[in-house]
Amino acid sequence: MRYRELGKTGIKVSEVGFGGEWLERHEEEHSVELLRYAHEKGINIVDCWMPDPKSRDIIGKAMEGCRDSWFVQGHIGSTYQNGQYVRTRDMKHVRPAFEDLLKRLRSDYVDLGMIHYIDSVEDWNTAMNGEYIEYVRDLHEKGIIRHIGLSTHNPRIGKMAVESGFIEMILFSINPAFDMRPATENLDSMFEGYENSDYSGIDPERAQFYRLCEEHQIGLTVMKGFFGGRLLNKEQSPFGVAFTPVQLIHYALTRPGVTSILCGYDTKEQVDEAVSYEEASDDAKDYASVIAGAPLHSYSGQCTYCGHCRPCPMDIDIAMVNKFYDLAAAQPAVPESVLEHYKALEHTASECVGCRGCESRCPFGVAVADRMEKTAQLFGV
């Protein structure tokens, strides 16, 4: 494994990291073992935006006895309310949620304290003025967070973070498809007119943001590098062709300012596949020829299973319902295994009341209520 300096933080993180988003989907023992296996392979950075107790406990148990050799991105403003994820700047929820993170990580510090998920100027202004940012600064001064970071999908917010002078690193969504789209404060509109537009290269504003990060030594870690797995599947890829994990890892790591790409894993085999990047040939890493020969398609309304649609008033795990729908809809008939996993969910799509509150929170403009209706019809429940 190769390691890169994360901007000017002074820490060195593995080029291939661990995105912990799906840890809760497995038995605790399985996920703990998976994290430990990744660490054995040289991975030393993990992102924990997830507020649920299970995910946090898993990371804490996996790091037991080797905490100092892990670097954790811990998010401030990602909270767990009534059993669901809620993004907020309200300190009555922010403070206890972060204290819970420390407790479950079995640690008295977080290496990278992340200002959680800002995509709009309005939210930036809210976060940067008042008790929330005072709390972040206080945590930093006390050494409870070693460095201040921020997560965003918007290069304009990223630029503001760089220019703030106190944010040291940024978690940003990077993949070949995203890079062809212009910046927007509301990602619901990111794909409007996409079908009729000719995008033949990286969006200038995103390119400028990457260069700015490199110039100011602001390290970038990468989320959504595989676009929720869609770029690995020809039928789901917005390019109409499939990439390999190695190609997408190389794409991310060749962006200016990028230090590490945080991949999601379900199995040890997936960890091995990602880590194989370090020994891959130039031909295996070549993503450019894939892009050059691919027809460009719209991916408006496609779920990346990020979970930002929550909370749901009916407690539906929207991301997982969408994942099972996509898995089933891609087959001539609904696979029995997918159906059984779907039926095992505590709440299914048929319980959706069509409030569409989730749609206002979706970064990618997914018509969630419509998908819930289609899912209920497909699975019959």
Q: What is the pLDDT of residue 138?
A: 98
* Matching residue, tokens 């959706």: 352
Q: Which residues pair with 13 in a beta bridge?
A: 4
pLDDT tens digits for range 28-82 = 999 999 999 999 999 999 999 999 999 999 999 999 999 999 999 999 999 999 9
Q: What is the signed CA dihedral for 369, 375, 377, 381, rounded to 10 degrees?
A: -100
Query: Nearest-CA neighbor of 239 among 188, 289, 174?
Result: 289
Task: Give 187's pLDDT tier (boundaries 50, 70, 90).
Answer: very low
Q: Please report, for residues 196, 240, 302, 340, the alpha-carbon distance to residue 290 in angstroms, rounded to integers and kept in the order given.
A: 21, 10, 21, 36
User: Is 46 in contact with 59 (CB distance < 8 Å)?
Assistant: yes
* Matching residue, tokens 């945080």: 262
pLDDT tens digits for range 236-291 = 888 888 999 999 999 999 998 999 999 999 999 999 999 999 999 999 999 878 87
Tell which CATH architecture fits domain 3-292. Answer: Alpha-Beta Barrel (3.20)
Q: What is the pLDDT of residue 3?
A: 98
Count of beta carbons in the 10 Å neighbourhood of residue 68? 9
What's the rounded Cα separation, in Å, for the pair 17 and 44? 7
Residue 93: is its pLDDT beyond 90? Answer: yes
- Kindly report the length of the chain: 381
What's the rounded Cα separation, in Å, for the pair 306 and 346? 19
What's the rounded Cα separation, in Å, for the pair 235 and 117? 30
What's the rounded Cα separation, in Å, for the pair 203 and 136? 32
Residue 197: is its pLDDT beyond 80? Answer: no
pLDDT tens digits for range 344-379 = 999 999 999 999 999 988 877 889 999 999 999 999
